[in-house]
Amino acid sequence: MAERGALDYLVFETLAERTVALANVEKLKNPLLGYNAMMEDRFTACLKFCSDQGIKVLTNMGAANPEAALKKTVQIIQGLNLKPTKVAAVIGDDVLVYCLAHLQDLKIMETGLPLSSLKGEIVSANAYLGADHMVEALENGAEIVITGRCADCSLFLAPMIHEFKWRQDDWNLLGQAQVCADMLECGANVSGGFFADPGYKDVPDLGNLGYPFIDIEASGRCVISKVEGTGGVISPAICAEQMIYEIHDPGHYITPDVVVDFTGVELKQLGPDCVEITGGQGKARPDQLKVSIGIKEGWIGEAEITYAGLGCLNRARLAEEVVRRRIDISGLKLQELRVDYIGLNSLHADASTLPQVEPYEVRVRFACRSADKINAQKLANEVETLVGKGPCASSLPRIQVREVLAIYSVLVPRADIKTHVVYEETR
Amino acid sequence: MRFYLRELAHARAGDKGDTCNIGVIAYQSSFYDLILKQVTPERVKEHFKSLVKGEIRRYELPKVHAINLVMENALGGGVTRSLSLDPHGKSYSALLLSLPIDVDDANAQVLLQQGRKPLVG
């Protein structure tokens, strides 16, 4: 896309809810890390095209360490011998110190309780920043803008505000722009990814999926499409799926930059893989920003074993009985235990439709949560020893024990979050 | 005639914490009324059994003939702590599409012409 998309801006949006918390853990181990591990590969692949064509780049690949990402990017640019480039990093989404100082008065959105009610080590607190500082960086001539945690859509909104000199309180215009940004923020999920259902929603050449881009005018008129010759599909149907994805009240979707109203949005097919987006509206942005809190909250132990052939389901059920008995005898301390029969009910539990005949094979999965590593490990070990002490004729078990890094959200007044931009220019 | 919702609509599920949302979009506008009348929070709650422990709210997006179902306490305690193999609930859209819908004669004819099969029994 960088090569053939005739782009003005290229955005890499790479952070899921927990990614920054994981990156913070990595940064604690090594202060030079904590940015996206794929950044070097991605920039090495595309920055030459961007430099040659004057395409500006925005990304949240800074994750927990935008400053380190900035330094790394400068090295990559020098390594590629590109023309002088101004790189910016937005600093200040890390509000761990602030949150630790306000444990009593910050309320957890999920539980309504104060932050101090959480048990476990808080390892990160990152605010979802808006477009403001990215716009500032672009105004100051930055060609590459790197952020940590920010609202996904803000990465797309910032270039629009910068190019069109939009007032940052023209809420209806920002609402429409945000709808367009929302289409792009999951990458190929609007151009054929996570959409195909053979015979119902067919997607051509899914293995060679093209990424989407938008053409937007100062009026907010917007058309979404993808590079010709790539696989995938862009239609009103997939745009509607992407638009509703992860919103709650469509008339009141809160972002740092604007509160969006999706209810009037219309999607019109203009041609093959080409859809016009109109009708987005907005209201004034909120005074508080959402902050994701990462906390170490115990351990998860998992183990799986497969039975096949005649009587497989009975052997699988006996395996469950054996493990439950072993948990009792050994006195394992588990906060929660879950047993799934993969192939029968592992994703939808009691809401699953069960087959009329016995399946040819079934995989039993045990998963537990415990306060410490030892109990999670012991559960996994009990499943592992089924091969010696459980029912006959199974696969070898696979086990995994991992630490839980849970995420909670709090709201912090915008004015309390101090952000700034740093720059470096390559020669 | 009865058909699975899958014949009338497509869907995608999203997650935020312990809340799952499913956007349900009618394949054509003539199906939208059936969805509004029959894909109610009460029916969805019953269909999802123990998976959804909290309230279900429904929002309407008539211009794209879609609804958005927002289901609380639906992701095993939250994406980051859940013991499920599908902590994000991304497969919940497929479960929703197995909801049976009573379809009027005119729309049933449309579906049959598209080669869609009604439910038997």
- The count of domains in chain B is 1
CB contact under 8 A, B63 and A266: yes
Same domain, A243 and A260: yes
CB contact under 8 A, A266 and B23: no
Residue for token pair 């069960």: A354
Residue A2 covered by a domain: no
Is B15 in CB contact (< 8 Å) with chain A? yes
Question: Distance, in angstroms, between A367 CA and closest chain B CA?
Answer: 6
* % of chain B beyond a pLDDT of 70: 99
Spell out which residues of chain A touch residue B17, defining contact as CB-CB under 8 Å.
Answer: 109-110, 407-409
Residue for token pair 């101004």: A86
**What is the tens place of the pLDDT at every residue in B43-73?**
999 999 999 999 999 999 999 999 999 999 9
Residue A248 covered by a domain: yes
Q: What secondary structure does DSSP assign to B41-110, as a single string? A: HHHHHHHTGGG--S-EEEEEEGGGTEEEEEESS-STT-TTT--SS-TT-TTHHHHHTT-EEE--HHHHHH
CB contact under 8 A, A279 and B66: no
CB contact under 8 A, A351 and B81: no
Question: Distance, in angstroms, between A262 CA and closest chain B CA?
Answer: 8
**What is the tens place of the pLDDT at every residue in A214-226?**
999 999 999 999 9
Same domain, A321 and A267: no
**What is the tens place of the pLDDT at every residue in A7-63?**
999 999 999 888 998 999 999 999 999 999 999 999 999 999 999 999 999 999 999
Spell out which residues of chain A touch residue B70, defining contact as CB-CB under 8 Å.
Answer: 248-249
Spell out which residues of chain A touch residue B92, defining contact as CB-CB under 8 Å.
Answer: 348
Tell me the CA distances in angstroms from B61 to A194, A255, B4, one per residue in order: 22, 19, 21
pLDDT higher than threshold 80 for residue B121: no
Contacts of B112 (CB under 8 A, 6+ apart): B118
Residue A388 covered by a domain: yes
**Closest residue of chain A to B46, computed from CA coordinates:** A351
Q: In which residue ranges of chain A is pLDDT below 50?
A: none
Is B114 in CB contact (< 8 Å) with chain A? no
Residue B83 covered by a domain: no
**What is the tens place of the pLDDT at every residue in A221-274?**
999 999 999 999 999 999 999 999 999 999 999 999 999 999 999 999 999 999
Whole-angstrom distance, CA of residue A139 vs CA of residue B42: 51
Same domain, A253 and A342: no
Same domain, A212 and A332: no
Whole-angstrom distance, CA of residue A220 vs CA of residue A278: 8
B35: domain CATH number is: 3.30.70
pLDDT grade, residue B21 (50/70/90)? very high
Same domain, A341 and A237: no
Spell out which residues of chain A touch residue B43, defining contact as CB-CB under 8 Å.
Answer: none
Question: Distance, in angstroms, between B102 CA and closest chain A CA?
Answer: 20
Could you give the ipTM of this predicted complex?
0.97
DSSP 8-class letter at A402: E
Residue A1 covered by a domain: no
Is B41 in CB contact (< 8 Å) with chain A? no
**Closest residue of chain A to B24, computed from CA coordinates:** A241
pLDDT grade, residue B79 (50/70/90)? confident
DSSP 8-class letter at A248: S
Is A356 in CB contact (< 8 Å) with chain B? no
Same domain, A103 and A130: yes
Same domain, A393 and A261: no
Same domain, A304 and A393: yes
- Domain span at A336: 298-406
- Domain span at B103: 2-76+89-113
Q: Looking at residue B74, what is its pLDDT?
A: 97
**Closest residue of chain B to A295, computed from CA coordinates:** B80
Is B4 in CB contact (< 8 Å) with chain A? no
